[in-house]
Structure formats: C-alpha cells, structure tokens
Amino acid sequence: MKTTPDNSGDVRLSGISKTYGSFTAVHPLDLTVPEGSFFALLGASGCGKTTTLRMIAGLEEPTTGTVRLGDQDVTHLPPYKRPVNTVFQSYALFPHLDIFENVAFGLRRRGIKSVKKQVEEMLELVQLGEQARKKPHQLSGGQQQRVAVARALINHPRVLLLDEPLGALDLKLRRQMQLELKRIQTEVGITFVHVTHDQEEAMTMADTVAVMNGGRVEQLGAPADLYENPRTTFVANFLGTSNLIEAEVGTRSGDDIVLKAGDGKLVLPGARCTAPTTAGGKVLVGIRPEKISLTHADDAGEIPAGRNRLTGKIADASFIGVSTQYVIDSPVCAGLSVYVQNVERDGRLVPGADVVLHWSPAHTFALDAAQAIDAGTEEEVAA
Amino acid sequence: MPFLNWLKRRLVVIAGLLTLAYLLLPNIIVTVFSFNKPKGRFNYEWQRFSADAWKDPCGVADMCGSLSLSLQIAVWATVGATVLGTMISFALVRYRFRARGAVNSLIFLPMAMPEVVMAASLLTLFLNMGAQLGFWTILIAHIMFCLSFVVTAVKARVMSMDPRLEEAARDLYAGPVQTFLRVTLPIAAPGIAAGALLSFALSFDDFIITNFNAGSTVTFPMFVWGSAQRGTPVQINVIGTAMFLLAVLFVLFAMVLGNRRNKQKA
Amino acid sequence: MSTLTEAPPPLGPAAPEEKPPRRRGRFTPYWLLLPGMLWLIVFFALPMVYQASTSVQQGSLEQGYKVTWHFATYWDALNAYWPQFLRSVCYAAAATVLCLLLGYPLAYLIAFRAGRWRNLIMILVIAPFFTSFLIRTLAWKTILADNGPVVHALNTLHVLDLTGWLGWTAGDRVLATPLAVVCGLTYNFLPFMILPLYTSLERIDGRLHEAAGDLYARPWTTFRKVTFPLSMPGVVSGTLLTFIPAAGDYVNAELLGSTDTRMIGNVIQTQFLRVLDYPTAAALSFILMAAILAMVTLYIRRSGTEDLV
C-alpha cells in the first residue's frame, strides 16, 4: 500500500519553532521521522507536541524552520495540498454526513468519481462495513475512532498524524485500540506520528518516542532505551517512576564510579552517567522501583556482596495483586518506591519494619544534579 | 388532604397550562370568529355561523393585495438580512479584528431600542434625503431590524461548532471554498434557518416601523390597523387562522420528517 | 538546564492546543462585516444623528426647519407629556412582572415536566407569532367585551369593584381601561419572556435538582437556591425583551385603551404622522431612547449579566 516508490519518505523537521506573541510553544527543533515507522510525541499538555503535529499537518505555519516530506519542502503548502492526513482529537467527524460520506470525503475532494469500492474496502479494514449509512453520533466512541482512522487512511497519505486519538476512550477500549492501530500500521506500512500524554500508550505502540517538555525535545529513542537510560529527571519521572537520590561523586574504580550517599556508598557503571563526574560534585542517582529487592534487616547478612544497598523503614505498603508497592523512608532519601513481585511474600515486611534495599549496580543510572528533582512527576506536571 | 397534595405536586403544571391557555385564547377567538356573520362593520360580537368568508377570502377590497405585498417584503427582507447577518456572524466568531466592541454594540442596540424610536428616526432620515416612501423604504427598514436577530441566531450556532471540523476538511483536501460549502455551511444551516425564519416572522408581522416609513403603501398589518378604525371584515380572521394552521402544520411536518429520518438511520 | 524544569505558564497563550484557528487573509473579516455594518450605520446610527439634530431645530413645514439649538423643545415636551411617559413606564413594568409570573411556570413546565409533550407545547408557544399580532390583539376586544362572559364573571365576583377602586378599571368595563392595555401588553410580549427563560432553564442539569434534594433541600428551597439563580440569564434577557418593546408600544393603548391610557408611543406617533411637529416628536423619541438605555444599562450592571448578545 506504500505510495512512494523511493525510500526518501522521511519527515524532516529542521529548526522549526512556533511563537504566539511572547510565548514560545515550540523551540527550534530538529526531528527526523523515518519512513514507515511508528513515531510518538510524548509530553504533558502544553508541552508543544500538538503544535509540532499541527505544523506537520499544515494547520499551523512555523515561525521559523522547514518541514520536508522526503525531498519535498511542504513548509508553505496549505493542509489540503499536503499528502498528510490527521486523526483529530475527539475525531472531528462531520456530523451532517454519514459514515460512508465521511470516509469518502477526501477522495471526492480530489475529484475521484468511483469511490464506492475503496470506501467499502476501507470500512472492512476497520470492521465497520455494516455501519456505512449511520451518522457519527449513532456510533460508540471506539467505532467513531475507527471511522476517523479510515477517513484519513483511505487517502494513502505519506504520513498519518494522530492527535491524542485514544484520549476519549475508556481504559479497556484504549488498550484494545492500541493493538488495533498497531495492527493497521503494520498492515499499511504508512508512517504514523502519534501525539499522546499517556506514557504507557506511547511505549506500547511506538518504535521511537520523543519526549517533549516546555517546547523542546528532552530525549528521543526506543521505548526500552528511554526507560532504562533516561538522560534527564523529566524523562526519568515522566516515563514510569524513578527513585532519585542525591549523592556525591567519590572515586573511580575501573569503569565504575563510586558515589557517596549519606554514610553509604553506591556504585554505578560509568557509561550510565550523563552528569559531569568531577570528584566531590553532586549527581542524582536513579533506580527504578521494580529493580530494587527488599530484605528484612534481620536477614541483612544474606544479601550477596557487590550490590548497592540502603537501609530504611517501611512507611507504607499497598497490595495490588501482581505486586506490592512499598514506600520506604531511608536516612538518605525519604519516600523511596519499591515494587516487589508477589512470588514469596515475607510476612515481616509490614509498615514499621526495618529493611535493607539492595540492587545490582548495573541497574543504576545517574543524572545531572542541576535539574529539579521532581520534574515530570505528577505533582510537578499538575502545578 | 390527598387532593391538596395532588394539587401541590402539580401546581407548576397547572399554572403553566393556564398560561398556555392565555396565549392561545386569542387564536381560538380568531378562528371561531372567522365563521361569524357579523351584523355591522365590526366583527367583535358573535351573531351566527357562516362559512362565507372562507369561500371568498379575497372578497375585501385591497386586502389580498396588501397580503401579497407583505409576503414579498418579508421574502426579500429575509434574504437580505440572512445574507448580511450570516457574514457578520462568521466575522465575529472566526476572526480577530479591531473594533470588535463597536461592532457588537451596533448589533445589540437595535434590539434594545423601542421600535417607535427607530421608526421615527428612520423617517427623519428619509424625509431629509427626500426619499420616496414605499416598498423600498419598508424593505430597507425591515432588513435593518432583522439583521441583529439573524446575527444572534447564527452566531450561537457557529460558536458551538468544533473548529476542528473545518481543519479536518482542509486536511482532507478541501480548499477554502470547498470547506465552506461542504462543511461550514451545512453545519451552520440550522442557525441560519432559525435566523431566516425569525426574520420572516418579524418582517411579515411588523407594524410600527412600517407604519412610519410606508407612505401611502399598505402592507397587511397596516390593512388590519386601518380596518380596526373603518370596520373589520371577517376575511381578516380567515387569513389569521390559515396562517396559524399553516405554521403549525409546517412545524409538525418538519418534526415528523426529522423523526422518521432518525428512525431509518438508527 | 533550568528551562527544562520550568512549568508551562498557566493558561492564556500557554494553551496553543485550545487556540481558535488562525486564518490567512488579514482583511477577510472586514469584507465580511462591511455590507452589514454599512447598512446598520446608514439606516440605524445615522438616523439617530438626524433625529438629534431635528430635535433642536425650529421652523415650520412651509418655511423649512433650521438648527437653532433650541433645547427648550425638550423641556416643553417633557412638561406637556410627562403623564404619558410615567404611564408608559408603569404599564411596561406591570406587563413585565406579569409576563415573568405567567411565563416562568410555563417555561419550567416545558423544560422539566413536559416529557414527550415538550415539542408540541413549544410549537403552541411559537405558532401564534405567525398570526398577525394586530389580529390577535383585536381578538381581546371580543374577549373583554362589555357584555362578554369575562366581564360578566369579574362583575359577579366583585373583582371589578376592587380594580375600579384601584383605578385600573372604570365602571362595569374592562375595555378602554389601564387593565385592558396591560393585559394586551402582557399577552403580546409573553413569548419573548418564555423563550429566553426556557433556554436557560433547559441548560440546567437535572441532576442538580437531585443533588439539592439529596442535600436536604425541600422542593421550594431547591427552586429558590438552585433553579432560580441558575435561570437568571434568562430572567434578565426575558425582562429586557419584554420591557423595552412594551415601553415604546402604542398599538395596545390604541386598540384596547382610551384617551386616558395613551402611552408615549401614541404621542410620538401622533406628533410625527398627524401633527407633523417634527422637533417635538424627535425630542420625545430621544428622551424615550435615553431613558430606556439608561434603565437597561443600570439593570444589566446590577444583575451582572453582560453577555446578552
């Protein structure tokens, strides 16, 4: 179903920015979306992700910079002259047209006379063949969403833009539609650029995720890479949860760096530190909650040597089935999160118990301490 | 006291229905008296049943002529006010521009002005310009006072319209003209229709402004006014009843049509 | 790195996702506005200027009029016609209050209690519009006729004695009295009260009534504390839409009243179309306009609803 014979179908944004009066929605930004990939722009509301998408669609004109599709400069083309289609937030289905006419809209505007076969095929693809003559308001949210996808895809765009396409659906349907969209993308092989504020959605669906914050791209990479190797506190906190502990840089031993946190010392691989490591400088040590093991203080002797360890007291424990989530106050850092799989539960791990937290140094990462430690957490985003 | 309780719970319904009766009573009288055979020149007292007026609705000199004149003026005033008003509404909702406040006040003021004031001042203008009073001066006046009502009706509809719909159209290869014709206009249509209907009713029924600016031209309301002095023919009631029935039938028909369409699609 | 952690500025321009679309073409709005605005300026605003100028002119029909800044016309007009002014305000106020009292239950009925009859009742409220209001007003002559059942009933119940004592009616008649004029005004402008009331009542979420009931409010308290305050926009625009045209009306006073019930509209009409004393007529109409604008502005300020249009 690919419409471009050559392989130069990449979307290239070079130096594009957008300002409204004195407010900068998007800072100058370079981004390349490879052809055929599923690309996600992830960020909280107001971070500039939708503006970036609208500039690709042609609905906003960039203040500076260029938008290229393959080798064609489309920066100043109006949206109706771009080989790009959008699935809008809350779908924007035409309420006065039935499903068939909604899907046929783009074809008819391009002067294509016999649309029946194509529309029917497209409705089959999204499993809505039966609903062709209904009006949008007669369909459920999930069905409307599929109409929006069909209406855009039937035009064989070079790039399909999705603006929070699943935002209006409930959780269960959202999971189902994530898989559905992924299936459609694999089937048609068109480049998808997907805007979302839901980090799970971005990680489930996309090959590449760009995390945006304050009008800039904070980090770009494959979902697993972003999760394991965040380079800023924003990414560390926005994608999942991170425990960030302030520490002082000590000595280097081989490839490893030894850090001082409170009285204890922590080790991490030098390659996993993005911060400057002059001795005596500050860094933020990061560790994901599920990487930490908990051992009751009485059994501290059984912990294998060579692991990073911290002592603490359980402040709170919530049982959520698959795992138990603990909040632990440690002398070096209060409110650490630890997720423990419920394989063999230790009955002594209740609030008030003294515990030792320990993990493999390889799972540790370190970030520049000159950033706000709570960037990207829910509290910070809400404020 | 079960009866008092029953009354208490239905007090609103009873009061509302009484108001409705108050609203409809004159229409019932108009209808009943269209079958009257009055003794003198005035049709205010019931004498005896007769369908004469229904058999010969245009049997009164000049009445049907004034009716057709009123219809013509109403149609043209509706067209004029709807086109101009719709343009203003789109400008107000979809664009930012200077002097927005001034535009809004100029639209609000005609609605906040007693008709007699507008009528008198417009006549002053026409007299000063030496304009010939008649069809054209009536039409000008009607477009003027209908305009604000169209703007109000259309604006409400366009404001509630999702701007993403137009973006979606442009995204789907519709140029500006196509977007307007295929998406904006059909979705704004109910608002425009409401404004047009209101214009028609206001223009057709207007007496005060017309009375000042008509010169010797006689519209249907002016004919009725004149007949209140000279003698009211039964045919006036025939026309009134027919208009009422036509309006109710028209709306009922539109509703049944809408319902059936919805059911078919469901 | 400090910019990374800056929270996006709150609202205002900070939410580009919510912005209305910007259109290309800087002059498009002006072209759209031009014809309609020109119409209103030439045929609404300009006439007001002409009228203002006429009101300070002196002269006669035969010799023509000249601007002499003769402001005494205003004084003379007020002196001569203040009873009609006062009467207009009183009649219009009475009609407005009656419209509110009669219209509210019906609007409430349509909004909350009508169920499947809602559309039918709505049609019945609007449909009379399509019969000329002059014909319908003339029908009141029949309803209130001296020997008709209404007057007979009121007489038997001695209501006419009471209203007569109050000065609302005279003798055994209702026609040609203030009561008849106010009754006609109320009837004519009632739909203008009901429609805005209905619009604002219909917007009220039915669950608010349940919530109020759940929080120990009796039906009447629910109405006073929840329903009525939420319907205020409708009350304000309804009363304005009733009061303004009622204050300038002269049809009801002419058809249902007598020389003792003449309103200011009647005077303006007579001066303009029969006596042809243009300066006095212009001055009267100017005073009426100023008085109504002042009252409306004051009223809107006090009720705090500015979004009437």
Residue C112: phi and psi, rounded to 5, are -120, -25
In DSSP terms, A91 is beta-bridged to A88
Closest CA of chain B from A115, distance in Å: 15
For A170-194, how does the pLDDT look when each residue is reduced to its tens digit (9 = 90+)?
A: 888 888 889 888 988 988 889 999 9
Query: Does residue A41 surpass a pLDDT of 90?
Result: yes
Distance CA A337, CA A329 (A): 9
Tell me, yes or no, if A319 comes closer than 8 A to chain C by beta carbon.
no
Distance CA A176, CA A173 (A): 5
Q: Do A238 and A210 contact (CB within 8 A), yes or no?
A: no
- Closest residue by Cα to residue C307 from C233, C197, C240: C233
CB contact under 8 A, A98 and B265: yes
Distance CA B158, CA B161 (A): 5
Buried b (16+ CB within 10 A) or exposed e, C38-71: ebbeebbebbbebbeebbbbeeeeeeebeeeebe
Six token digits for residue C267 = 């005077």
Residue A166: phi and psi, rounded to 5, are -110, 5
pLDDT average, residue stretch A287-313? 91
Tell the residue number behind the tokens 């045919």, with chain if given: B235
Pairing of strands A208-213, A38-42: parallel
Report percent pLDDT > 90 for chain A: 55
For B100-120, how does the pLDDT look when each residue is reduced to its tens digit (9 = 90+)?
A: 889 998 998 998 899 999 999
Distance CA C83, CA C81 (A): 6
Q: Do A123 and A132 contact (CB within 8 A), yes or no?
A: yes
Q: Residues 62..121 of C with a Cβ closer than 8 Å to B: which?
A: 102-103, 105-110, 113, 119, 121
**Which residues on C lie below 8 Å from A233 (Cβ)?**
5
> Strand, coil or helix: what is A339?
strand
Which segment of A208-222, A267-281, B76-90, B251-265 scores lowest on mean pLDDT? Answer: B251-265
Pairing of strands A191-196, A159-163: parallel
Residue C60 within any structural domain of the chain: no
**What is the reported pTM?**
0.80
- pLDDT score for C34: 93
Question: Residue C102 belongs to a domain with what CATH number?
Answer: 1.10.3720.10
Return the DSSP state at A34.
-
Six token digits for residue A275 = 């911060």
A233-382 fold = OB fold (Dihydrolipoamide Acetyltransferase, E2P) (2.40.50)
Six token digits for residue A7 = 């392989």
- Closest residue by Cα to residue A153 from A192, A209, A98: A192
Residues 6+ apart with CB under 8 A from A344: none
Closest CA of chain B from C228, distance in Å: 14
Residue C149 within any structural domain of the chain: yes
Buried b (16+ CB within 10 A) or exposed e, A243-252: bbbebebbee
> Strand, coil or helix: what is A196?
strand
Q: Residues 37..56 of C with a Cβ closer than 8 Å to B: which?
A: 37, 39-41, 43-48, 50-51, 54
Range of the domain at C154: 73-303
pLDDT average, residue stretch A302-314? 91
Closest CA of chain C from B173, distance in Å: 17
Chain A residue closest in CA terms to C13: A23
For A235-253, how does the pLDDT look when each residue is reduced to its tens digit (9 = 90+)?
A: 999 998 999 999 988 888 8
What is the average pLDDT value for chain B, to the nearest integer? Answer: 90
Query: Does residue B56 surpass a pLDDT of 90?
Result: no
Distance CA C189, CA C175 (A): 19
- pLDDT score for A330: 92
Distance CA C230, CA B209 (A): 36
Return the DSSP state at B47.
-
More confident residue, B8 or B218: B218
B61-232 has which CATH code? 1.10.3720.10
Closest CA of chain A from C8, distance in Å: 6
Residue C5 within any structural domain of the chain: no
Distance CA A60, CA B167 (A): 10
- pLDDT score for C15: 36
Report yes or no for ipTM above 0.90. Answer: no
- pLDDT score for B261: 64
**Which residues on C lie below 8 Å from A380 (Cβ)?**
5, 7
Residue A264: phi and psi, rounded to 5, are -85, 175
CB contact under 8 A, C113 and B85: no
Six token digits for residue C230 = 């939420």
Mutation for C interface: B95, B115, B230, most C CBs within 10 A = B95
- pLDDT score for B255: 78
Distance CA C87, CA C307 (A): 30
Six token digits for residue C87 = 């009467």
Six token digits for residue A278 = 């002059």
Distance CA A275, CA C166 (A): 92
Query: Does residue A326 surpass a pLDDT of 80?
Result: yes
More confident residue, A204 or A383: A204
CB contact under 8 A, C105 and B19: yes
Q: Do B104 and B92 contact (CB within 8 A), yes or no?
A: yes
More confident residue, C22 or A333: A333
Residue C109 within any structural domain of the chain: yes
Q: Give first-to-last CA distance, chain C, whole Å.
A: 49
CB contact under 8 A, A79 and B170: yes
Band (A379; pLDDT cuts 50, 70, 90) = low
Sort A279 into a burial class: Cβ within 10 Å, 0-12 / 13-18 / 19+: exposed
What is the average pLDDT value for chain A, to the nearest integer? Answer: 89
Band (A382; pLDDT cuts 50, 70, 90) = low
Q: How many CB atoms lie within 10 A of CB C260?
A: 12
For C253-266, how does the pLDDT look when each residue is reduced to its tens digit (9 = 90+)?
A: 999 999 889 999 99
Tell the residue number behind the tokens 């809107």, with chain if given: C300
> What is the domain partition of chain A in residue ranges?
11-228, 233-382
Residues 6+ apart with CB under 8 A from A277: A249, A252, A257, A270, A283
HEC string for B132-152: CCCHHHHHHHHHHHHHHHHHH
> What is the domain partition of chain B in residue ranges?
2-52, 61-232
Tell the residue number behind the tokens 């036509």, with chain if given: B246
Band (A5; pLDDT cuts 50, 70, 90) = very low
Q: Do C202 and C111 contact (CB within 8 A), yes or no?
A: yes
Between CA B237 and CA B104, with CA B141 as vertex, the angle to 5 degrees is 120
HEC string for A48-69: CHHHHHHHHHCCCCCCEEEEEE
Distance CA B27, CA B48 (A): 19
- pLDDT score for C8: 35
The H-assigned helical ranges of C59-117 are 72-108
- Closest residue by Cα to residue C5 from A375, A231, A211, A217: A375
In DSSP terms, A248 is beta-bridged to A260, A282
**Which residues on A lie below 8 Å from B169 (Cβ)?**
94, 105
For A122-161, how does the pLDDT look when each residue is reduced to its tens digit (9 = 90+)?
A: 998 888 888 899 999 999 988 999 999 999 999 999 999 9
For B143-195, how does the pLDDT look when each residue is reduced to its tens digit (9 = 90+)?
A: 999 999 999 999 989 998 888 999 999 999 998 899 999 999 999 998 999 89
- pLDDT score for A28: 93
Q: Do B199 and B149 contact (CB within 8 A), yes or no?
A: yes
A11-228 fold = Rossmann fold (3.40.50)
pLDDT tens digits for chain C (309 residues)? 333 333 333 333 333 333 444 445 678 889 999 999 999 999 999 999 999 998 988 877 777 787 888 888 899 999 999 999 999 999 999 999 999 999 999 999 999 888 888 888 988 888 887 788 999 999 999 999 888 888 888 888 888 888 888 888 888 888 899 999 999 999 999 999 999 999 999 888 878 888 888 888 888 888 888 889 899 989 998 999 999 999 999 999 999 999 889 999 999 999 988 888 889 999 999 999 999 989 888 888 887 654 543
